[in-house]
Amino acid sequence: MNHPSISIAAIGDTNLVSTFSGTPYYFLQAALQKGWPVIGCSMNLEAVNNYRKIWNAKQLLSFQKAGGYQYSTDFAKRILQQIPTEQLSGTVISFNQHFPPADAVVNNGGKLYHYIDATFSQLIDRYEIGKIIGKRIAKETLQREKAYFEAATHIVTMQQWAADSVIHDYGISPNKVTAILPGANIIFPENYVPSVAFKSGVGKSIPLALGFVGKDWERKGLKVIIEAAEILQQQGYLVKINCAGNAPDALLHHPLVQFSGFIDKSKNPQQFIDFLQSCDIGCLFSKAEFSSISVLEFLRACVPVAGYVVDGMGDLYFEDASIRFAPYETAETVASKLQQFIEDDAYRLRLQEGAANRANYVTWERCVTEWQKLLQL
């Protein structure tokens, strides 16, 4: 491919799996596998800590909230000094719409592509980021974001919900906005073949295993899962919750919860795959969720999923591989649907087969292939 170099950017070092939940890293690895002339941008955030403290102090002195330094022009200026000019002069794919600033790319002859899971407008609305940062920096960030979108060659979102915001909230032409689903943030063995291992007696002779992955247990609805499991148990069904991530002691020591702790999937991928495949259905009952990599990971492991269809999750809960709920539906309704999952073998098999059919779709290889067509590589 005789194309200009492609740089992958985010807030942090995109060569590290710890940056932005590993999403830029897995994208970069898949692009390298495809033979792209691609490099990952690296930045040292620790190097700007003192500037952050000074900026926060100035915010407080001007009667503004201290948070939001990463959205400031001062942050962009300091971090840009760490990025070689040649990494801005080709094609830049950024997982953050505020860095690098669009003019830093365009003025160096480069083309900027965004790959985002939400707009700042959605962050303010759904994640209440306005409670963390001051009104002035929020207003300035929205203005800059619109300008960056306008200057970008193309804006790619991880689901249609965010694409609609780019178009309707920022006035960007639909012709330069595309939704491309990301992949599961785990590397499966090369010989991995998606398959369905149907188990008889789930919920009756053996426990129904509900899966949960996440650090933000409260927002991601672990309590809803536990309440639904308790209802099923009261009805005489066998049920357990396989939990990986984080939760308070009261939930971790709940008799229905089997806690695996934090699993480092970058160092122990097989342990994480085994965890996923130990579950009969992966659960995520978030009241606010842009896109969930954990849902894609369950599907990649041929495990169907269940959860609230909220924000961008409609694109991830494939109808043939998931039990979909409206965000106002109660644990009683969830338990009722899970009862059907237990009692109706044909229904459970259809969902498992649906997940297996989606397994090869929810990959970074497929995502990068779609990007390759967009970039005309």
Q: Mean pLDDT, to the nearest integer, of 158-179?
A: 97
Q: Kindly state the average pLDDT of the residues 334-342.
A: 97
Quick one: which of 272, 226, 231, 264 has its CA closest to 247?
226
CB 207, CB 176: distance < 8 Å: no
pLDDT for 214: 85
Which ranges in the chain belong to alpha helices (H)?
Answer: 23-33, 49-61, 73-80, 102-106, 120-126, 135-151, 160-170, 222-234, 249-252, 269-277, 293-300, 331-343, 345-359, 364-375
Tell me the C-alpha to C-alpha distance, in Å, between residue 229 and each of 197, 301, 306.
Answer: 23, 23, 13
Q: What are phi and psi of 215, to 5 degrees?
A: -85, -40
Token pair 């148990």 is at which residue? Answer: 233
Domains in the chain with CATH codes: 6-183+363-375 (3.40.50.2000), 208-359 (3.40.50.2000)
Task: Please tell me the predicted confidence (pLDDT) of residue 250.
Answer: 81
Report how far residue 260's alpha carbon sits from residue 101's, in angstroms, rounded to the nearest whole number: 41
- pLDDT score of 251: 83
Q: Which helix (H) or strand (E) holds 116?
A: strand 111-116
Q: Which pLDDT band, with edges at 50, 70 and 90, does 4 fall under? A: low
Round to whole Å and give the CA distance between 338 and 353: 17
Question: What is the per-residue pLDDT for 130?
Answer: 72
Q: For residue 286, give the nearest of 126, 133, 94 by alpha carbon.
A: 126
Taking residues 267-274, report their average pLDDT: 89
Query: Which of 60-64, 122-126, 327-331 reaches the highest mean pLDDT?
Result: 327-331
Q: Is the pLDDT of residue 348 over 50?
A: yes
Query: Mind giving me the DSSP string for 247-313?
Result: --HHHHT-TTEEEEE---TTT-HHHHHHHHHT-SEEEE--SS-S--HHHHHHHHTT--EEEE--GGG
Q: For residue 262, name the pLDDT band (cuts at 50, 70, 90).
A: confident
Rounded distance between C-alpha atoms, residue 104 and residue 199, angstroms:
56
The three-state secondary structure class of 34 is coil
Tell me the pLDDT tens digit for each residue of 6-43.
999 999 999 999 999 899 999 999 999 999 999 999 99
Q: Is 161:290 a contact under the CB 8 Å cutoff?
A: yes
Mean pLDDT in the chain?
A: 92
Secondary structure (3-state) at 140: helix
Rounded CA-CA distance 40/16 in Å is: 9
pLDDT tens across 132-153, in order? 788 888 899 999 999 999 999 9
Residue 1 has pLDDT above 80, yes or no: no
Q: Is the pLDDT of residue 3 over 70?
A: no
Tens digits of residue pLDDT in 235-260: 999 999 999 987 888 888 899 999 98
Report the percentage of the chain scoring pLDDT > 90: 78
- Once rounded to an integer, what is the mean pLDDT over residues 115-128? 89
Task: List the one residue out of 29, 99, 42 whose CA is nearest residue 364.
Answer: 29
State the pLDDT at residue 219: 87
Which of 336, 351, 185 is CA-nearest to residue 281?
A: 351
Range among 1-15, 40-54, 153-167, 281-295 rated most confident: 153-167
What dihedral do alpha carbons 93, 95, 100, 103 form, nearest 10°? 60
Task: Give yes or no for residue 307 having a pLDDT over 60.
Answer: yes
pLDDT for 59: 87
pLDDT at 236: 97
